[in-house]
Chains A and B, each alone.
Chain A
Amino acid sequence: MHIDKDLVAASATPLVLAILAEGESYGYALLKRVRELSGGELEWTDGMLYPLLQRLGRLGYVTTEWRTSPEGRRRRYCAITDDGRAALAAQQRQWVAVTHALGGVWRSSAWLPTALGEA
């Protein structure tokens, strides 16, 4: 299944913040976690994650720190801040509202289940 580019972009911030709420992480591990969570459906262009992380840093949602990993690679580790948690909560409410509305309309429309059934 192909997920629309705009949808991927819109879900990127809450997804990254939610993963960071689980604990500190860095770019590559974050991407692996995204693939895992979406069962491989959510395909990100890898590079795009880094500008996004920098934006979150600028907004004060995450703090970043350069450290050298055990394998000797320079990595920027990110951790969520209180502001980031607040932003995540706000995003969560928005997404719940959206999925709620969509769920409602999909249950009530008669044509959809057949269309899905045929597919």
Chain B
Amino acid sequence: MDGVESQIAEWRTYVAKAPAVNGRDVDELEAHLRDQIAELDAGGLAADEAFLVAVKRMGALDSLSREFAREHSGRLWKQLVLGAEDEPARSSSGWIEALVFALAAAVAIQVARLAAQFPDEEPKWLLRNISLFVLPFLAGYFAHRRQLDTRRWVLTVTPFVFVAVVANLYPYDADSDTELLVALHLPVVLWFAVAYPYMRGTIRSHERRMDFVRFTGEWVIYYALIALGGGVLLGLTALILEPIGPDLAERVVEWVLPSGAAGAVIVAAWLVESKQHVVENMAPVLTMLFTPLFAVMLTVAAATYAVFGVFGAFDRELLGVFDALLVVVLGLVLYAMSAREPSRPAGLMDRVELVAVASALVLDVMVLGAMVARIGDLGFTPNRAATLGLNLVLLVNLAGTAWLSVRFLTGRITFHRLERWQTSYLPIFALWAATVIVVLPPTFAFA
């Protein structure tokens, strides 16, 4: 049997090298292989023959690895790296494609800037439409990369056209609050519109939705890194050019900054697609680092508010701050969720996360109560309606998350249900942002 033992060991190392097969999987496959060999042995086959038959029955390693990749958190990139069956293999990693779309976005934003004569003038339409000069190129990049058919191309373009028409046909007042709200919510709606080509039109698939959540989180990390590097580069350039003429440095920044920021949107997306394994290791670390810190901060804040009361510190801006806080907590939850191995049982991190979510909820309910009382006195304004609505949307999401987390931690449901809750909830965020753009301005007479 010694010969077979070394053959099995060799096979084991070979299988373990497959990108998506982890140690446990190899253990399990090896146990299977040994069972099969033992049975064939008992049937009268020579040991090395039995080994060959058993390995053959196990199946081709690359298709096996692809199946495991689909299962281990269903990451799209692993399937892309391995070359999914229904997809033609790519010769290059697609950087030329990314570069073309990035350049297009960079040129578009520059054209818009020159037309608006920014920064000498600051017309409102530029601020309102800024995401419309960038995100269509991101959608186009994905539509092209995923090789969408004509019907799906049309469906990709439709929301962009619709939103662009609505946002620009409304007759906003001078210094309109609703216009500012539209400017803030437009990128959110368009980001969800990018989801359609990203998911190759399969927007009903919860697994693909989770992929998009993952993509969003990893895109943010890459964009932040590019922004940091770009900031250093621009700062140094400005300092070097300073002696030649202060105007020159300013001109360079004026030209490079908008184009760089726009192009980086697509470059970051390309990096997520092709260099994903780099961030994939980063997301869990960031979550591990910040979830406990946020949990501590939020519990302390909730305790302080409970003792001293909300009313002393309450002002108009506070609900906006809490909206931001809930967005960050939700971001952490989603990050943790996307980085988590779904089959792992409940652990300490899940508990810490629940503490963070629960404290954020308690805080928010206190502030919300105060806010509702105030609105009763002061009446609705566009800003109050928007912040209150967002707050409610987030509150319901996090309350659901907390409830399901408790059930998960007590072992009554699987983690899968928690994921489902988040992926089912995504359209509600898109709908709310769309409501702010489409319904809110006419409701408040474009004030």
Contacts and interface: CB of A to CB of B under 8 A. Distances in A.
A45 B416 contact: no
Given A46-B59, A47-B64, A60-B416, A54 B343 contact: yes
Interface stretch (A17-25, A72-80, A91-99, A106-114): A72-80
B31 A75 contact: yes
Contacts of A83: 414
Given A48-B67, A58-B71, A76 B32 contact: no
A57 interface: yes
Interface string B1-40: 0000000000000000000000001011101101110000
Contacts of A73: 31, 34-35
B25 A50 contact: yes
Nearest to A61: B414
B365 interface: no
Query: Most chain-B CB neighbours within 10 Å: which of A57, A64, A73, A75?
Result: A73
B413 A58 contact: no
B58 interface: yes
Contacts of A52: 67
Given A51-B67, A54-B71, A55-B71, A28 B416 contact: no
Query: Most chain-B CB neighbours within 10 Å: which of A47, A51, A59, A75?
Result: A47
Interface in B68-95: 68, 70-72
B32 A46 contact: yes
A48 B416 CA distance: 22
Interface in B44-79: 57-60, 63-64, 67-68, 70-72
Contacts of A51: 64, 67-68, 70-71
B374 interface: no
Nearest to B60: A45
Nearest to A69: B31
Main secondary structure of the interface of A (DSSP, over half): helix
A80 to B, nearest CB: 14
Given A46-B36, A58-B342, A27 B414 contact: no
Interface string B400-444: 000000000000011111000000000000000000000000000
A28 B58 contact: no
Contacts of A45: 57-60, 63-64
Contacts of B72: 54
Contacts of A59: 414, 416
Contact of B28 (A50, A57, A58): A50
10 contacts: A46-B36, A47-B64, A50-B68, A54-B72, A58-B342, A58-B414, A59-B414, A59-B416, A60-B417, A74-B31
The 8 closest A-B pairs by CB, nearest first: A45-B59, A60-B414, A51-B67, A28-B35, A47-B64, A47-B59, A51-B71, A73-B31
Interface of B: 25, 27-29, 31-32, 34-36, 57-60, 63-64, 67-68, 70-72, 342-343, 413-417
Given A28-B32, A46-B58, A60-B413, 14 more contacts: A28-B35, A48-B63, A50-B28, A50-B29, A51-B67, A51-B68, A54-B71, A55-B70, A58-B71, A58-B415, A59-B416, A64-B343, A75-B28, A76-B28
